[in-house]
Structure 1
Amino acid sequence: MNLYLPIANLSVNAFVIIGLGGLVGLLSGMFGVGGGFLTTPLLIFYGIPPTVAAASAASQVTGASVSGVFAHLHRGAVDIRMGLVLVAGGVIGALIGAGLFRLLQSIGQIDTAIGLLYVVMLGGIGLLMARESIQAILAMRRGERPRARKRRHHPLVAALPMRWRFYRSGLYISPIAPFILGMLTGIVTMLLGVGGGFILVPAMLYLLGMATQVVVGTSLFQILFVTMATTMFHSVTTKAVDLVLALLLLVGSVTGAQIGARLSMKFRPEYLRVFLALIVLIVAIRMALGLGWQPDEIYTVEVL
């Protein structure tokens, strides 16, 4: 069944888009990641323009985050005060990202910029994830027990002035650090259409030293509001949000996440992380090849 995407200005097979959303949702449910960092590359591979793919993926992440936020709020696993600081930084970052997006659009380099950022980002994440999971598997086979992680914030964070108490996170740090972290993720969300959880969660654990039980819920809290702001900014400035595309992705991702959550119970987490690392690296390599290949049509005509 073909559907016309009004913003992308092309017809797509609805079942293929739902399938792509389902695949991302499946990975999300299996590996405990948002999956948004794979949505945009997969849409680009299918032929969706990178600008529309990035803008629409952000709106899909918003919808997918709602149920997760309410579930964590119900369990008391969200640090509201920390989340609000992260959201404030994220909204400012999204505004900065909107300016960068429009600038890159005006000089005709936005597609290349999105591709390069994804290659660097996915390549780095994939290599780090592969190294960590392989080390965990080798240690498991040698019978070594994993070391308990000491919870502490980074010395640079400790040196910042004007400290606040974040009781739920068990922290007494400056709000400047989470504000800057939120701002960086807001810029990334605006440019790439990702939730930013793959940046937020490790940074909250290893830089801010937050309590593990509130990290995921607080991250989802920030992602929900920042992707909402990002979708609004895209709608007003770039006009690249395709709601038909976002709804198709959302239908697939919600279904896929449920299936993935059940499958994750059947495999060891160490092997799941290796598998995810391989997927991320394959997507990064494919993006890099796409940047180097000569397209079938060197010139395109766009009606403004």
Structure 2
Amino acid sequence: MTLTVLFAAGDAAFAEYRAPLTQAFAQHDLKIDLVTEAAPEAVDYIIYSPASTLRDFTPYTRCKAVLNLWAGVEKIVGNPTLTQPLARMVDPALTRGMVEYVCGHVLRYHLGMDAHINATPGAWVQDEPPLAPERVVGILGLGELGRACASALAALGFAVEGWSSRPKSVQDVTCHHGADGFKTLLRRADILVTLLPHTPQTENILNAAAFAQMRTGTRIINPGRGALIEDEALLAALNTGQIAQATLDVFRVEPLPAEHPFWAHPNVTITPHIAATTRAKSASQVIAENITRVEAGAELLHKVDPARGY
């Protein structure tokens, strides 16, 4: 039987994904009619991103699953018309990209590279930074990406501590959970990495009260979600030195408006949402595997829990 798969992620993405998806479907022995338009009642699966104009899922009565191309699902999970199972993107290449970004910026802060790179002629300050085991790196969020980053940093020798809303266990990582655990991690981290999903519970989780509990001079790296941080509170904490530096890859509005004060702040590094991009070749394999599983009667991988929002 030939399955109809609707690619609802925009024309530019379709040009990028068409060949890798076709190849992945062939490797999984799937007979697929990959289309950008179809009668809703004929669609078996939807490959989706928020770049799509598709907002009403009600007519897609035959659809067995919606497969998100992005790791984040906050822009779709609350759609009341979405009654089909939703899978978030968990892609090994995306995970590796995030690990490399996080480790790179943690090492940059750990080694004090900004001061050395920007040193003026005649400046010859030979400081002695602590070694990795003496530096506490905190990870907010111990999902797929958080666990991978925590493990990689622990392998580099850092004292890694993580936090999640529910109890988690990660080898060589001190794990905290709940409200008390959140406060403990804030007090202990020298460098704090935010990898939480965006939900009503996590929005503005790093606010003025949270910054006040951190060690003076903490560095923050946010490749997770822009709404995790209250912008005005972060700017205030940077101005007092409570937070020494911040590297931000995600923002409430993207691209970040030219007039936003983050651009002008000397202690803020901005990157253009590049920490963990979905790569077409590897993501296509994930999608093909998921469709194969569902067709075989197995459980959908990376299924989103609408009640939790991820």
Task: Give the TM-score category using the shorter length.
Answer: under 0.3
TM-score (norm 2): 0.26
Structure whose residues are more often strand by fraction: 2
- Rg larger for: 2
| Larger proportion of helix | 1
How does the TM-score come out when normalised to structure 1?
A: 0.26
